[in-house]
C-alpha cells in the first residue's frame, strides 16, 4: 500500500464526487462508526469538502465547516477500507487543518469515534459541554440524539487570548 501513496491527489470536491463520497461514508454508517449522510446534505455543503483521488477514483474525503470566527469543525473524514493505513487520512486532515489556519481560525474541533487518529494531529478530548449549543443543531437529525456517544476533541493553533487580540 505504501507504493500506492504516491498516486494520491487531493482536490476540492465537485458534485460529481457525491455518489462516491456517500458510498464510502454510508458504508461506515451501516457499521455504526459514522453518522449517515444523504446526497442532499453533500450537495448542500459541497464547497466544504475535499477528496483524495487515486487513478481517477475517489478514495477518501473530509470537510471543514466554519461556524464562527473562533469555531470550525472537521467532519466526514473517511477513507475507503482498501486504502486505509497508507496515509490518506493524514493527507486529508493535514490539508483541512492548513485550510482552517489560512482562513484565520484559531483552532478546530471534531466529533469522532476515532480519538486515537485525531490525537495524532494534536487534538485533545474536551467535554461536550465546552462546545457551544450552535454546533448541536445538526444533531437533531441524528438517530442517536440525544445520547451522543461521539468524542469531542479540539486542537488550537493560536491561543484563544491571542486570537481575541487579533
Ligand atoms: C480513521 C481513518 C480516517 C484513518 O484514515 P487512514 O488513511 O487509515 O489513516 P492514515 O493511514 O493516514 O494514518 C495516519 C496516522 O493515524 C494512525 N491511525 C489511523 N487510524 C487510527 C485509529 N483508528 N486509531 C489510532 N490511530 C490511527 C495511523 O497509524 C497513522 O499514524 P502514524 O502517522 O504515526 O503512522 C480511516 O480509518 C477511516 O476512514 N475510518 C472509518 C471512518 C472514521 O472513523 N472516520 C473518523 C472521523 S468520524
CATH of the domain at 16: 3.40.630.30
pLDDT tens-digit readout, 76-115: 999 999 999 999 999 999 999 999 999 999 999 999 999 9
Report the separation in Å between the CA atom of 151 and the middle of ligand 1, taken as the mean of its atom positions. 15
Q: How many CA atoms lie within 13 A of 161 on its CB side?
A: 0
Report the separation in Å between the CA atom of 49 and the middle of ligand 1, taken as the mean of its atom positions. 18
What is the pTM for the complete model shown? 0.92
Mean pLDDT, the chain, rounded, equals 90
| Residue span of the structural domain in which 154 resides | 5-165
Evaluate: CB of 121 within 6 angstroms of ligand 1.
Answer: no
Backbone dihedral region for residue 32 (phi beyond 0: left; psi -120 to 50: alpha; all else: beta): left
Asked whether 99 and 136 are in contact (CB, 8 A), the reply is: no
Asked whether 96 and 62 are in contact (CB, 8 A), the reply is: yes
Share of the chain above pLDDT 70, in %: 89
pLDDT tens-digit readout, 15-54: 999 999 999 999 999 998 888 899 999 999 999 999 999 9
Closest Cα to atom 37 of ligand 1: 84
Alpha-carbon gap, residue 23 to 29, rounded angstroms: 10
Amino acid at each position: 500500500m505504501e507504493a500506492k501513496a504516491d498516486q494520491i491527489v487531493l482536490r476540492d470536491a465537485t458534485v460529481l464526487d457525491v455518489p462516491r463520497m456517500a458510498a464510502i461514508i454510508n458504508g461506515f454508517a451501516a457499521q455504526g462508526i459514522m453518522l449517515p449522510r444523504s446526497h442532499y446534505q453533500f450537495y448542500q455543503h459541497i464547497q466544504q469538502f475535499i477528496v483524495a483521488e487515486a487513478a481517477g477514483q475517489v478514495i477518501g474525503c473530509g470537510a471543514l465547516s466554519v461556524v464562527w470566527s473562533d469555531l470550525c469543525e472537521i467532519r466526514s473524514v473517511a477513507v475507503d477500507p482498501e486504502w486505509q493505513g497508507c496515509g490518506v487520512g493524514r493527507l486529508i486532515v493535514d490539508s483541512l487543518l492548513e485550510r482552517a489556519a489560512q482562513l484565520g481560525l484559531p483552532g478546530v474541533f471534531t466529533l469522532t469515534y476515532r480519538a486515537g487518529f485525531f490525537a495524532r494531529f494534536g487534538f485533545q478530548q474536551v467535554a461536550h459541554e465546552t462546545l457551544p449549543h450552535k454546533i448541536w443543531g445538526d444533531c437533531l437529525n441524528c438517530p442517536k440524539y440525544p445520547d451522543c456517544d461521539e468524542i469531542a476533541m479540539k486542537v488550537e493553533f493560536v491561543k484563544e487570548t491571542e486570537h481575541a487580540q487579533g
